[in-house]
Amino acid sequence: MADRAVRAVSAKLAISLRAKRAMSPSHPSPSQETQAVPSPGTAAAVYLSGFLTLSVVLMMGVTVPLWTVALRLSAFPTGLVMGAQALTPMLFAIHMGTLMDRLGVRRMMIFLAIGAVVLPLLYPLLPWFWPLVALQLATGITVQVTWVGAQTLIGRLVPGNRRYYGRFGAAANLGMLVGPLLSGISWSMWGPWGAFGLMSLWAMPLLVTALLLPAEGELPNAGRDPVNSAASSRLSLSSLLPDMRSYAAGFSLLGRPAIALAVLSTFLRIAASSIRSSFYPVYLRHAGFSGSLIGLLIASGSLWGSFGALLTERLVEAAGSMRRALMVTVATAIAAMMVTPLMPGFAALFAAMAVFGAAMGLNQPILLAILSSSVSFEEQGLSVGLRISANMASTLTVPPLMGLIIELAGVRMGFYVSGAILLVATALVFLVAE
């Protein structure tokens, strides 16, 4: 159902932007009717990768802030710790997407999954500020790029197939619901070792899944995908070095108004999400909430997000334009996070998180529709890398700045001032877009 909402928004966007999606005439995507059907085992492995990858982002957003509280870090160092996880993916997202085309997604997923298994266990072993920053830099690339790999896998397996994409999206949303909830429970019952150990255990099936996946050349529709021929390239140190031509091509996309709008909106919506994954659990912990309740609140946002996506088409019709619907939902998500200190108890916090989650669920399909409708077939990977760079730039900058505000004015003002700045920025983007 959510996939139908995304497709409806994409169709409306194509009309409002007066542009067709540019498709390469020599490499058209196969239709659902002509695609080869993947084996049940291969399809299940890709669904499992969706379930395991994006969920760990929210698991980190529960466990690491609680760890900073246990280490008694003040607000600004906490912001630096949370922002550090975004630095490496921000710098290397475009290049890592290029590597997946060049070396194969399966090979990269195996490499990254090994890091996702090992790195969480180092957190309780190194309970100091600078090792924590270093670990955040390392886990940032493993956490974010495994999710990119999962999306690429489903695209290679069944490009554009509504049925399989719907199942993949359902698996990812289920992971985002279950993962943070289990992290909070693990922290309450077994402390840091339990919570970080759970993250390591969570990544083990991902490693097994990556090992069992067929190589790109053996996927059912591989013959139709020209990039698969590059998957036989050797993994070497030189291949891991960034290619500046890829970055130049990626940033050149910002010259297109629709892409610029999508990237700026991405930065703003992820700013609200980064608050949820940094000072939101810190605030709740200091307010006396248990790890279990914090995990429940954060996980509930994902549940409401899945419902929100189903209402996207109606919202766009009511708003009158794609741009207006996007900006309204981004502003709503920011405001819902901004009012956290005003919420008197669990029920009010749960209601605010429902509004936040629904708004994020509504604006995501609109954002993806804008991106996919504004680039050609050959530029899809570049646009994803550019979007992830904007995601990480937001995650890198917002928590440290919010931490500095909290240091100067207190935690309540930290939420209010940060939210006000983001709302003003949203209004400016909306005025320019209109």
DSSP line for 283-298: HHHHTT--HHHHHHHH
Residue 244 pLDDT > 50: yes
Lowest mean pLDDT among 191-200, 215-224, 305-314, 328-337: 215-224
The full DSSP string for 122-146 is GTTT--SHHHHHHHHHHHHHHHHHH
C-alpha distances (whole Å) from 180 to each of 15, 66, 303, 411 are 39, 12, 12, 23
Going by C-alpha positions, the residue among 307, 308, 287, 289 that lies closest to residue 297 is 289
Residue 227 pLDDT > 60: no
d(CA 274, CA 86) in angstroms, rounded, equals 10
Residue 333 pLDDT > 90: yes
What pLDDT sits at residue 372? 62
Could you tell me the domains of the chain? 2-17+40-226+248-433 (1.20.1250.20)
170 vs 361, residue with greater confidence: 361
Statement: the pTM of the whole predicted model exceeds 0.85:
no
Residue 25 DSSP code:
T
Residue 29's pLDDT band, with cuts at 50, 70 and 90, is very low
d(CA 191, CA 380) in angstroms, rounded, equals 42
What pLDDT sits at residue 424? 93
Residue 12's pLDDT band, with cuts at 50, 70 and 90, is very low
Residue 301's pLDDT band, with cuts at 50, 70 and 90, is confident
- Per DSSP, what are the bridge partners of residue 22? 376
Q: What is the pLDDT of residues 59-79, one digit of tens each?
A: 888 899 889 989 988 878 888
**One-letter amino acid identity for 348?**
A
Question: Residue 425 corresponds to which tokens in the numbers above?
Answer: 């920025």
39: alpha, beta or left, given left = phi > 0 and alpha = psi -120 to 50?
A: beta
Three-state DSSP class for 160? coil
Residue 379 DSSP code:
G
- Burial code (b: 16+ CB inside 10 Å, e: under 16) for 72-106 equals ebebbbbbbbbbbbbbbbbbbbbbbbbbbbbbbbb
d(CA 256, CA 31) in angstroms, rounded, equals 28
Spatial neighbors of 46 by CB under 8 A, at least 6 apart, are 38, 150, 153, 154, 157, 168, 213
Residue 402's pLDDT band, with cuts at 50, 70 and 90, is confident
Going by C-alpha positions, the residue among 10, 12, 17 that lies closest to residue 433 is 17
Q: What is the pLDDT of residues 156-213, one digit of tens each?
A: 666 545 566 656 666 777 787 888 888 888 998 999 999 999 999 998 988 888 887 7
**One-letter amino acid identity for 173?**
N
C-alpha distances (whole Å) from 305 to each of 71, 177, 356 are 32, 10, 8
What pLDDT sits at residue 356? 93
Question: For residues 371, 209, 307 and 86, what is the CA-based torsion angle, rounded to 10 degrees?
Answer: -50
What pLDDT sits at residue 177? 80
Three-state DSSP class for 331? helix
Distinct helix (H) and strand (E) counts, the chain: 16, 0
